[in-house]
Structure formats: C-alpha cells, structure tokens
Amino acid sequence: MVRHAGRGWHGRVLAAAIGVTAVAAATSVWTAQADPTATGKRHAGTGVSARPSASPAGAEGSTQAKVSAAIAHASDRGARGVNITIDDGPDPVWTPQVLRVLRDNGVKATFCMVGTQAQAHPDLVRAVVAAGHRLCDHTVSHDTGMDHKSQAYQSQQILDAERMITKASGGVRPLYYRAPGGAFTPYSRGLAASRGMRPLGWNVDSKDFERPGTAAIVATVRKEVANGPTILFHDAGGDRSQTVAALREVLPWLKQQGYSFGFPVR
C-alpha cells in the first residue's frame, strides 16, 4: 500500500482545516482502545446499511454499534464480489461524473470523503447518499503523516470529519474510516471502530491519482483484481477525467468476468 504523499491539493485542504484543528486537545477525551492483537497493516474493506444517527455524531452519550478495529478488505458479496471505493471528494466537477458512470452501470460504491470537502459541498454528499452509496470518513485534512502525530490530533481528524460528513449528509453517518495513504494506527482504528466506522483499506490501487492514462488505469485493475476485492479510485485532488473514463471500461469488464458489486464487510 503506497502512501500518496506530496499531493499538491493537500496543503489547500490542510489550510482550510486550520480552524478545526484548534479543537484537537478538546477531542482527546475520546479514548477508544484498539484491538491489541491487530497490527497496523495498510489494507481493508466492509459494509452495512447507512442510517441517520439518533443523536449528533460525536455527541456525548450517543450510541453507535461498535465494529471490528481490524482493517477490512473483504466484500459482502463473497468470493466473486468487488468493492468500488472513491476517495478524496466530493468534488463539484468530478463527483457528479463518477456518480453518473456508477448509475449507468448499476453499481453502488463507497465514497471516502474529506471532511472539509463534504462541508463545502453538502449537496453532493446528499446526492451520494440518495443514490444508495455508502459514506466513509477520510479525515478532515487528508494528512498522510497522521500516524506520526499525537492521539489528540488523530482524534480531531477522525471525529471532526465524522461530524462534518454526517451534517452534510443530513444525518447519515459514515460506516467506514479510511486513513489517508493508509496511515492507520492502533489508536485510530480503535477510535473509529468505537464510533461504528470499520477501518477500510484496499487491495487494488488503480494508480489513477497519478494520471498514468486511462489504458494504464484499466490495465492495473485487470491485472490486480485477483489480489482482492476492494479497488481504490479518486474523485478529487485534480483532473479525474482519466478515472471517469477508466470506470466506464472497468465496470462492464468486471461484470463480464463474473464479478458482482458489493460493499466492504463490517
């Protein structure tokens, strides 16, 4: 699992989140314990129906069903299932195009959203939910080095993003947590799981973020899908036209190979 460090957009997202990071110390009261037997592996997958939270995400006394802190990779559709995951949005240019391709192919996906992006584009978050897709917490500012930061910082990044996404969606909570670049820690996995968000990794990195060309993205997925069911794409962080074009080819091809589309297991 390769970290996507050095992304030009990360600095802009981080700057937008500065006002939120001031609350890091306050959020350190969340002290969820990670599974001591689990390791910090950098891959995962899972799924369950999204429901509006009974009380605001992060509110004291709110109750969420706890899930495993182990990083998920499997599909709820079994051995021939695949999970399409879309990271870093929502984006006003690319998310609608990705949604259109998914709709045209009858595919549901998991959208791993950056908190500030969700806050800026609540209409897109609600469009994702309305189309039957699932939400995933991808932190406030997409800091790929957060596994080297304090627990208070990790808590702020996860919990504030959870609140932002839940508010933007109209009350539908994220069911997963994906650490930027796979920067999981035992603490962050345990905290996310205590909030009902299964840590989510990936098996196939389509490399679409690097914009190697549509043919290269398609070839990577075709070659590596045997490695596991959870496939990583992006709908933000730059020009994602190659991703949109690749999805138009990859989704029908996966169907032709006998795969069905599901959600990561929870």
Q: Which of 10, 137, 234, 235 is catalytic?
A: 234
Residues 173 and 52: beta-carbon distance below 8 Å: yes
Q: 136 forms bridges with which residues in the sheet?
A: 112, 176
In the set 43, 87, 137, 138, the catalytic residue is: 87
Given a contact cutoff of 8 angstroms between Cβ atoms, the answer to whether 73 and 202 are in contact is: yes
CA–CA dist 109, 90 (Å, integer):
13
Catalytic status, residue 234: yes
Residues noted as catalytic: 87, 234
